[in-house]
Structure 1
């Protein structure tokens, strides 16, 4: 499975964007908190008709699927993320901002903050994937729901050193 680029739009003003990927032109208005998902490694060109403020996160679909299954109790099909070329999610964009800020901070807590915010970002990404698939009627048999909230509680680790 190829990696996936997720572009999080943080710009307060909407602006026109053209994206050509694999010879297909998409011409759209990019609003605040909108997210564009595009497969990494394909031929893609962007034309921005305004000043932009975007965070680009590259996801490994296999790692996202493993995280969703292990930490959230859901099974995602890699196609569910690919099938979401554009959607809006303020929570996911806010998690991206906090994740970026944790990367930029150079103090003793930045590593812990990055790890915690990575989990929040991935949880929000999985939540958006499931929510959008449900709305589009493409959820299929892969949802083990109900979908848990991102409360910060995770399953207890298992293994010989944890079974006391």
Structure 2
């Protein structure tokens, strides 16, 4: 990852557009080989965030949840890396007990070499972090804002680069 994005931090984001904007900032800093894991409950904003990451990376195609296809590839409009957007929950479900994340992703017949792409995985903990020596963990918290104000659309997004100890 380029140095223009903090290696760790946290932001309270009031609206979906704010979530996309943070994703776009991150996307502009990501480089081929980076692995990003998005962690949070359903409806927390993971796909909305990914839409921003895609804009920041400058990739083609409409970003939607990969739930029913497991993974989507979004090619760069220019010279940048491809975005591989994975629903690792389904990948784990499909390959239960598979200790080989590269093999599990390879079985998807992706046209992209993972070292030449940014891999962004929703529900990726426990599998996708094994793709790299370090990965960015992005956590989504909707409960704190809703507990303060049940009408709130806010979410708190925290991120930190993690070393793979596996």
Would you call these one fold, judging by a TM-score over 0.5?
no
Structure having the higher Rg = 1
* TM-score, with structure 2 as normaliser: 0.28
Q: Which has the higher contact order (CA 8 A, sep 6+)?
A: 2
* TM-score, with structure 1 as normaliser: 0.28
